[in-house]
Structure 1
């Protein structure tokens, strides 16, 4: 049985992530005096995480996520001193993204799941410096290279096709 590797949002470990979406794009601008357009710079990266907080620590995790979502950098820095110089790091098997900031945080509790909280977290990249942006991209490239080197599933098992009873 494989271990459940958590998604880290700052210091908070999300063990039961249901889905994670990373959205990236590029700003397209028209070249002056020409009919051509060119991608000039990346737009902000957005990450949406849907997870379930389970067990007795679910309310503590809720408070930790709320503390990370504080708007004031000074308040965030007081909670986690390492965040004063950079944003919230998000580390998962899909991406390593530094300088993220929580823009939307939603908790849902239902009758069907009394001992659990569903959480939806939207983070947007807010680079603090060009150095941290470069470090984040280098970490993401290393993750991609390491993931490509690890086999992710069983080899394909081709099944011979025949017309059989259709002839």
Structure 2
């Protein structure tokens, strides 16, 4: 069984080691009551740790750097839909539109010469109500489809340290 890639915009990450999604909610006290309730999500962040392997690793690294640029025009030139929606993140945990890369960290070491470790932090930056609604509908469809058709996720077969050819 092969693992599904995590897509950061048009960039596929095939060897994701860890993915964390954090959501924050606005809490407001109900008038003349001792009760409070969550009104609306206020913050969504996704953190991804992955490995870039093979001959394409430097191309993938450069693609992530281009996506992280602040200029929406340059990002939009990379993929036309990004001018309207931001960077979509598609994985088994969520479909999140309107994301922006806030931090990239690349690491290479002597034990894994043919790999680059990458840590990516993304923050939800809404572009408009229509894209926010589309993202929520896509996320709901993912949850419903997983509940209906998916089972337990199989563990990754990726070894902890890739072999280095001598």
Bin of the TM-score, shorter chain as denominator length: 0.7 to 0.9
Q: Counterpart in 1 of 2:107?
A: 108
How do 1:1-167 and structure 2 match up within 5 A? 2-153=1-152
* Runs (5+) with no aligned partner, structure 1: 155-167
Distance 2:124 2:152 in 1: 32
Distance 2:152 2:41 in 1: 32
Distance 2:45 2:124 in 1: 6
SS of 2:146's partner is helix
Runs of 4+ in structure 1 over 6 Å off: none
| More moved, 72-81 vs 11-20 | 72-81
Distance 2:90 2:34 in 1: 41
Aligned residue pair count: 153
Cα 1:151–1:102 change in 2 (3 A) is closer
Richer in strand (by share) = 2
Q: Deviations over 1:3-30 (max 9, x none)?
A: 2211100000000000111111211123
Distance 1:153 1:29 in 2: 36
| More moved, 30-39 vs 15-24 | 30-39
